[in-house]
Amino acid sequence: MNKPNSNLDSGPSHLSRRVFVKRSALAATGTALAAHFPAIVTAHAAPDSVVRIGMVGVGGRGTGLLGILLSMKGIQVPAVCDIDTAAATRAQGMIANSGRPQPELYTRGDEDFQRLMDRADLAAVIIATPWEWHATMAVCGMKAGKYVGVEVPAAITIEECRDLVRTAELTRKPCMMLENWSFRRDNLAVLNMIRQGLFGEIVHCHCAHSHNCVYWYFDAKGNPRWSAEHLARHNADQYPTHSLGPVLSWMNINCGDRFDYLTSTATRSLGLNLQLAEKYGPDYPSARRRYAQGDIITSVVKTVKGNTIVINNDMQLPRPYDNRWEIQGTRGLYNEQRNAVYIQGVSPAYEQWEPFGPYQEKYDHAWWKALKAESGDAGHGGTDVLELEHFIRAVREATQTPVDVYDSVIMSAVIPLSLESIARGSYPVKCPDFTQGKWQTRKPAFAVET
């Protein structure tokens, strides 16, 4: 059984002493000083300036993000880092084929990203590497004076979450987790409806990531990818950010409310072994391996304000994809599975659902109206384009990113919090206040229409 406070491994075992010394020195700086610094730069750049971005990690996800960046005007990518030389070379070709200068490659090993971060010509870095490297690389990027866009999750331990916050506050460089479901058209329309009071006072939300992701963890021959090691060793909600992306703004988390404590429960682990055995045979090594990860994780968050959030992780059983979002207030609710709403005194039939479509049209967010006019519908239905556009805008104008470091870490913190709760028999685990009390006075900033 895991130790009650084991969290996840603090980082890759082969990190150099130099990396750990850097991180330890940062942690020792002290939170009292950090609390006085906003996680935002103060200088301003010209709106039409070229933004130079370094790519760290150009596998499947990184390559997709790179393709979107190369479709944008005013973007240069002078540097690419990946330990897979073939992947880095492929990215180099993409950049050259787009008519941009051929980038320099950083492929000398696990820590070569540090040389890229030290480049003076980069304004920002995009990190799309295995999870255990995200926080280490993001900290390095901020300390090198870069805006950081980091793929999900931003961190996998509580200490990594604290490192990200301390570094952002001390360096005044934003760190944005690239949680694209925060930018979905339907979710932003729901946010507008909430802010206009249609659902009354919000009290409860359900969210999930329900998606058979065996192909994420194993290649076409059934061999484990790096991500499969997390399933073998840990039992937690290991992918909570797609669930929680829109929920933070819907419920004003970190802006008037915050997570107080969490409880998590796991089912047995059957799905991985069964699916692998059916496809490759019962004696195949991956099919015979024992996995710590339960098939379905159910977490319940209680907020300081007294609201509740149910989070489901359901990623290794056969099923269609859905997120099961439902946000409920004192006057009505929205349900993503039904694609429907009910609003007391507005919906024509008493206590019956009505279609969400007309509401989405009426309350469509300005970001999506602009996206449809300018950028089309690429990348997860347009969400990747939208999140990168707004990340780049923040870099260009030297403003805060739409998803800030506090939002990035609270979504990620569900991983170690759920791990601890499950290990302790679904015991309630307190959630740290990463804002150090600032949640009480911070105003909502994400996707606020002016």
Which CATH number do you get for residue 126? Answer: 3.40.50.720
Both 411 and 301 in a single domain?
yes
Both 88 and 127 in a single domain?
yes
CATH number of the domain residue 434 falls in: 3.30.360.10
Predicted local confidence at residue 49, as pLDDT: 87
**Residue 384 forms part of a structural domain:** no
Helix 241-250 to helix 405-412 angle (10° resolution) is 130
In the listed set 151, 179, 207, which residue is the last one of a domain according to the structure? 179
Both 186 and 163 in a single domain?
no
**Residue 229 forms part of a structural domain:** yes
**Residue 187 forms part of a structural domain:** yes
Predicted local confidence at residue 4, as pLDDT: 31
Both 53 and 168 in a single domain?
yes
Range of the domain at 93: 17-179
Both 188 and 156 in a single domain?
no
**CB within 8 Å of 56: residues ≥ 6 apart:** 62, 81, 82, 113, 116, 125, 126, 127, 128, 129, 137
Both 357 and 209 in a single domain?
yes
Predicted local confidence at residue 186, as pLDDT: 97
Predicted local confidence at residue 380, as pLDDT: 65
pTM of this prediction exceeds 0.75: yes
Predicted local confidence at residue 31, as pLDDT: 35
Both 168 and 243 in a single domain?
no
Q: Give average pLDDT by consecutive 10-residue segment, the chain, 450 residues.
A: 33 34 35 40 61 98 97 97 98 98 98 98 98 98 98 98 98 98 98 98 98 93 95 98 98 98 98 97 96 98 98 97 97 98 93 96 96 58 94 97 98 98 98 98 94
Predicted local confidence at residue 379, as pLDDT: 59
Predicted local confidence at residue 2, as pLDDT: 33
Both 117 and 40 in a single domain?
yes
Both 101 and 192 in a single domain?
no
Both 354 and 219 in a single domain?
yes
How many distinct structural domains can be found in the chain? 2
Both 128 and 203 in a single domain?
no
**Residue 193 forms part of a structural domain:** yes
In the listed set 123, 146, 179, which residue is the last one of a domain according to the structure? 179
Predicted local confidence at residue 11, as pLDDT: 36
Predicted local confidence at residue 30, as pLDDT: 33
**Residue 391 forms part of a structural domain:** no
Predicted local confidence at residue 260, as pLDDT: 98
**Residue 43 forms part of a structural domain:** yes
Both 205 and 328 in a single domain?
yes
**Residue 219 forms part of a structural domain:** yes
In the listed set 147, 179, 211, which residue is the last one of a domain according to the structure? 179
**Residue 57 forms part of a structural domain:** yes
